[in-house]
Structure 1
Amino acid sequence: MIIGTAGHIDHGKTSLVRRLTGVDTDRLKEEKARGISIALGFAYWQQPDGSVIGFIDVPGHEKFVHTMLAGASGIDLLLLVVAADDGVMPQTREHVAIARLLGIEQTVVALTKADLADGARLSEVAAEIANLLAETCFTEAPILPVSTLTGDGLPELSTLLAGKARETKARRGDGAFRLAVDRCFTLQGAGTVVTGTVLSGSVAAGDGVVVSPAGLAARVRSIHAQNRPAERGMAGDRCALNLAGPDISKEAIGHGDMVVAPSLHAPTRRIDAEVTVLPSETKPLAMWQPVRLHHAAAEVGARIVLLGDETAPGGTAPVQLVLDEPLAAAALDRFVLRDTSASRTIGGGRFLDLRAPERRRRSPERLAQLAAHGHPDPAEALRGLLSLPPYHIDPDGFARDRALGAETAGRLAEELGLVRIGALTMLPEHWQALAQASAARLDAWHAEHPDLPGMGLERLRLAVAPRLPAPVFRSALSRLADEGALVAIGSWVRLPGHEVRLSSEDEALWARIAPLIDGQERFRPPRVRDIGQLLGHREEEIRRLLRLAGRRGDVHEVALDHFFLRATLGEMVAIAIDLAGAHPAGFNAAQFRDRLDNGRKVAIQILEFFDRHGLTIRRGDLRRINRRRIDLFGPQPAMTDGGEASPVGRPDFKSGRGRQTVSGGFDSHSLPPIP
């Protein structure tokens, strides 16, 4: 257990810790000269059963409240020290308010300097303390008169604290590791050492860690836990970690940094939070009000963005905190707000969402999400978020921001029966709703457009709910295709039973056209007018049939009335890739023409077609290959979590000036589906 002292300056906090543990926590020369605590002090109290109780002794002067805040975060029990001769003083009240804001639940009151007061005075001060703690969670806190000079009351206080330590439940160690750094120094023969309280998880010698928010990678050489050498540091321990790494030094690690498991390194500068304003404040919080934010051992500047109505003194409301510097934190961590002059504490609360949006942050949907984020049970919080629009979440990000361990995250997914789609997850009922909506929309589309082989992927994504990001929707379609619910080919989506067939007359005509644009003449096929003359058909009839074949994915219209077989286009892509490999600076139209044994005009039309689709990138007379678009005209790979390669996935795409879009989100010169 970690015990933290609190109380007004010169009320005997350090003397009391020294009498309990035998350790003088005032280690600085200035502290000894002035007789007051300036920095955090640490002491350890060995128990008969072999356990160790850690003490954090904090300064009581009003100028060092920020130091007190750094020590108060992470303690299990507050030892409130009140001198019998002074009674309750300003810092006594402020320290109690801070303890409440930090969520500390256990308190023991030591009524020090009891040898300087008679029974009546002790009763009077005890009544003051009881009034101060009334209507708080500390109402039942025991008050013990003690004297560090005579030793009166110390045995009783020692017994009480030891009993509290035995009763205190150990912090859960199944989370991911986090340690709040309150000291960093160089130890001769060891190197850089950081000390702090382990907020969650555990760490072992040899583990890799990251110093956040700077992102410095390090390895744990050795560990001291509760002032003893240890192989592992656990949640709730005071730990000293000997760190090693190429960028690790005393100067590189600052007070307030966080040493975390590598998976947790994701600092933030915008946090949605729940704030309680102290009743002692005279004004409500204001929009963009500057404050000092204290979290664990860190202190950063911030501004408040109100997300609801005016937050009056004594009230609680959601706000957004826009930070001056990045902060390493976790959801539901406690924090305290002080004014910019560091003269008073304004309020505090807990973080809700570390990835706060900049837009629509006050919408009813967003406020409902924050209410779900605030649930202390991660399973209920996750269920609540997935039950609200947009009905999906990044489970890895959720686990990271809550500092959950891998086992806990896996258990949550299994408990809720989550359906994983790419990088996101959904509740099973919403996944079924998506599948049913997709099937219903495709069925209606086929009824309206029986001559089309399917519906454009992007058009379908925008037509069904819940709406998923494009890469994730591709993953969802892949899953539905694996289940046999639909068929996804290229950028077309259709139901399994749907099929487009040409009429017998069209099939017969296509059988005569196909050989004309294949074989030896495939790189320079005749145009629509020439095909009509060769076959004795009207030009309009040939054009209609070729564009219908284009919808089926048989051909591409590279230029006006100039159609190439899809397989031929694939061959030409391979030639362009080969030329790009042989000419790293880029290949020109003449080189491409020679490889095709084609005319310059047709070669340029083909290259311009590639340019429009982003397959080639032109700089002057030279072209390079955009390898992200190679799959456009070759064999379509299986759908992945990657982005939409084909530009026709976007309903606003047109392949050239004056081209008209057609049903399905495609235009007459766009990439057709693969047969």
Structure 2
Amino acid sequence: MIVGTAGHIDHGKTTLVRALTGIDTDRLPEEKARGISIELGYAYLDVPGHGERLGFIDVPGHEKLVHTMLAGASGIDFALLLVAADDGVMPQTREHLAVLSLLGVTHGAVAITKADRAEPGRIEALTAEVRALLAGTGLDASPILVVSAHAGHGVDELRELLFDAARHLPSRHVHGLAPRLAVDRAFTLDGVGTVVTGTLHAGEIAVGDELVLSGRPARVRSLHAQNRVVERAHAGQRSAVALAGIAKDEVARGAWLTAPHVALATDRFDARLRLWAGEAKPLRSGTRVHLHLGAQSTTASVAVLDGEQIEPGDSGRVQLVCHAPVGAWRGDRLVLRDAGATRTLAGGLVLDPFAPARYRRTPERLDELAACELPTAARRRERLLGLCRLGLDLARFAQAEGLTEPLQGWALGEAASAALAERLLAALAEFHARSPDELGPDAARLRRLVAPRMAEPLWRDVLGDLRATGRVAVRGAFVHLPEHGVQLSAVEQRIAQKVAPRLAEAGAEGAWARDLAKDCGEPEPLMRATLARLARQGELHQVVKDLYCDTATMTRLAGLARAIHVEHGNVTAAAFRDATGLGRKRAIQHLEHFDRVGLLRRVGDEHRLRTDSALFAGPAA
């Protein structure tokens, strides 16, 4: 169990920890050179008959060092709030209590210190004041003990209370979560190398593990937990980790030591906040704040997602736009201070580290955030599958949750899958009605029509399923309804054989339907109908009305367009004309055809390649 002391400066935190443990947390920094154990600001105490060890985080009480208190408080299990009998409740008493409450700490005790300095009746009055102060904080029922560290009065009772709390405190969830340690200190030891310390927020770390820190790989060389040499440390323990493969100068305070597959850094995330009841004003969108998460702090801006503002004492969902990347996983606790870092405003929970910059207040998005607040990962995943019309990225879900096992691929719920299939089939029917002489759109263009924000891998899976069940047909890059790709009659096959060599000879200039009818000795209406049917089959391509080219020619022209785009970043009519040897008019006609079918898109006087299009993806001649 990690015990965090809190309270105003000079209210006896360090003295009381020394009385409880025999360890002075104000030792000089150079004493850490005696071993890998880190005792500066930390102390430890064995729980009799339990095999566990209490870790004390002794945080500073000075107003300017509240950010250090925030870093320490983010990993504590039990709060020990100190109030000196002579001073009483002071400004940092209130702020530290606010931090503990906003971080969701519900296990704790209050020690009224320096009892030997109290006037008669003072203890009773102060006890009543503290009890009133605790109301509504989540620590309402915390016991209040009277102690004097110098005289030894009440110290044994407090120690036994802490032992009992440790024996009954629920253990942190370890199984199913990848390791994550918030680094609050880094240094170098002779013969050991780089050492980082912090509280292990989730999972387990073992000697030999391959982890990442600030994006760099690092191997666990040796390990201390709760100031003892161990082979494995688990969530809730103060840990010192010796790392191979990374230098001290590459480690910043606030960095996260994590398993590679859950490492993340985000500059915006959605969260649920509770505004401290003592605030004088509501929290509004646009408010600039100091964000404290894990051992990291940065500035951020608030965007309220529920309504226009959050009233004091109320909670609401927000998006935090950070001014530097932060590590934030679903369920992590956070605290906000005002822009001047003079007071604590709010605290809350991370809901989604991959928050969207757009569509962040739509009913669909707010439903997704409600799913993120469900109590278990399994229930969150099940609900999100039912809500995500564009599918659920399983790898990103596992990353946001910090799960031990990495997931792969995409998933789409049954209802979302059925709705998508209906939209896709309707879009194909509309396309066929509008362009009856074309076989159908290519897969990339169809995705832009039906689900432009859907991930390409999931889109391919959806198309594959529909094709396997016979609901759509695919020919090359083109998708169509099965009934649209009818078979050619014997007469049409005969005409197709006649026009093939003539179209090959015509090349990029193309051949007109009337000229093909004359050259082949066929009626012009029959020739037009057959050419339209061939175009519908994807065998030919109608550049403009009644002007056709064969697939080999179009593949060659598309290859030239792609080559021009690679070289220049765009395709102009002049560059395409020069590359093809065509006249300007015919070159423009081909480019406009490529725009219509989805190979290119027109932007001003130039054309841009659609990189997701597989149309005419053959080699250029």
Shorter-chain TM-score tier: 0.7 to 0.9
Deviations 1:601-629 (A, max 9, x none): xxxxx5x45324669856789989xxxxx
1:300 to 289, 295, 298: 298
1:610 aligns with 2:608: no
What's the counterpart of residue 339 of structure 2?
Answer: 340
Please give the secondary structure, in 2, of the residue aligned with 1:610: helix
What's the counterpart of residue 172 of structure 1?
Answer: 173
> Cα offset for 1:276?
1.9
Q: Supply the distance in 2 between the matched residues of 1:449 and 1:609 (Cα, whole angstroms).
A: 21
What's the counterpart of residue 321 of structure 2?
Answer: 322
Could you tell which deviates more after superposition, 61-70 or 503-512? 503-512
1:220 aligns with 2:220: yes
Report matched runs for 1:32-431 at 5 Å. Answer: 41-49=41-49, 50-117=51-118, 120-173=121-174, 174-212=176-214, 215-245=215-245, 248-307=246-305, 308-388=307-387, 390=389, 392-406=391-405, 423-431=409-417
Where in structure 1 are there 5+ consecutive unaligned residues? 32-38, 411-419, 574-605, 625-645, 658-665
Please give the secondary structure, in 1, of the residue aligned with 2:148: coil
Q: 1:526 to 1:68 in 2, by over 3 A?
A: closer
Please give the secondary structure, in 2, of the residue aligned with 1:125: helix
> Cα offset for 1:393?
2.2
Q: Supply the distance in 1 between the matched residues of 2:91 and 2:567 (Cα, whole angstroms).
A: 73
1:513 to 477, 499, 519: 499
Q: Supply the distance in 1 between the matched residues of 2:596 and 2:232 (Cα, whole angstroms).
A: 55
CA RMSD of aligned residues (A): 3.8
Q: Supply the distance in 2 between the matched residues of 1:441 and 1:121 (Cα, whole angstroms).
A: 79
Q: Supply the distance in 2 between the matched residues of 1:218 and 1:526 (Cα, whole angstroms).
A: 62
Q: 1:287 to 1:553 in 2, by over 3 A?
A: closer
2:536 to 551, 574, 578: 551
Deviations 1:532-583 (A, max 9, x none): 45432356754553343233122456899886654x559xx7xxxxxxxxxx
Q: 1:517 to 1:88 in 2, by over 3 A?
A: closer
Aligned AA for 1:249? Answer: A
Please give the secondary structure, in 1, of the residue aligned with 2:460: helix
What's the counterpart of residue 460 of structure 2?
Answer: 474
Contact kept? 1:271, 1:321, Cα under 8 Å? yes
Q: Supply the distance in 1 between the matched residues of 2:195 and 2:423 (Cα, whole angstroms).
A: 58
Q: Supply the distance in 2 between the matched residues of 1:93 and 1:268 (Cα, whole angstroms).
A: 31
Contact kept? 1:203, 1:234, Cα under 8 Å? yes
1:536 aligns with 2:506: no
Q: 1:401 to 1:496 in 2, by over 3 A?
A: same
Aligned residues: 580
What's the counterpart of residue 488 of structure 1?
Answer: 474
Contact kept? 2:439, 2:538, Cα under 8 Å? no
Contact kept? 2:283, 2:309, Cα under 8 Å? yes
Aligned AA for 1:66? Answer: H
Q: 1:288 to 1:524 in 2, by over 3 A?
A: closer
Could you tell which deviates more after superposition, 102-111 or 431-440? 431-440
Contact kept? 1:391, 1:466, Cα under 8 Å? no
Contact kept? 2:289, 2:301, Cα under 8 Å? yes
Aligned AA for 1:293? Answer: L
> In percent, how many aligned pairs have the same letter?
44
Q: Supply the distance in 1 between the matched residues of 2:359 and 2:565 (Cα, whole angstroms).
A: 39
What's the counterpart of residue 592 of structure 1?
Answer: none
1:650 aligns with 2:598: yes
TM-score, length-scaled by structure 2? 0.82
Q: Supply the distance in 1 between the matched residues of 2:503 and 2:535 (Cα, whole angstroms).
A: 13
Contact kept? 2:270, 2:320, Cα under 8 Å? yes
Could you tell which deviates more after superposition, 93-102 or 482-491? 482-491
> Cα offset for 1:183?
0.9
Q: Supply the distance in 1 between the matched residues of 2:450 and 2:324 (Cα, whole angstroms).
A: 40
> Cα offset for 1:400?
0.7
Q: 1:290 to 1:440 in 2, by over 3 A?
A: closer
Where in structure 2 are there 5+ consecutive unaligned residues? 32-38, 569-574, 581-593, 606-612
TM-score, length-scaled by structure 1? 0.76
What's the counterpart of residue 590 of structure 2?
Answer: none
Aligned AA for 2:210? Answer: G
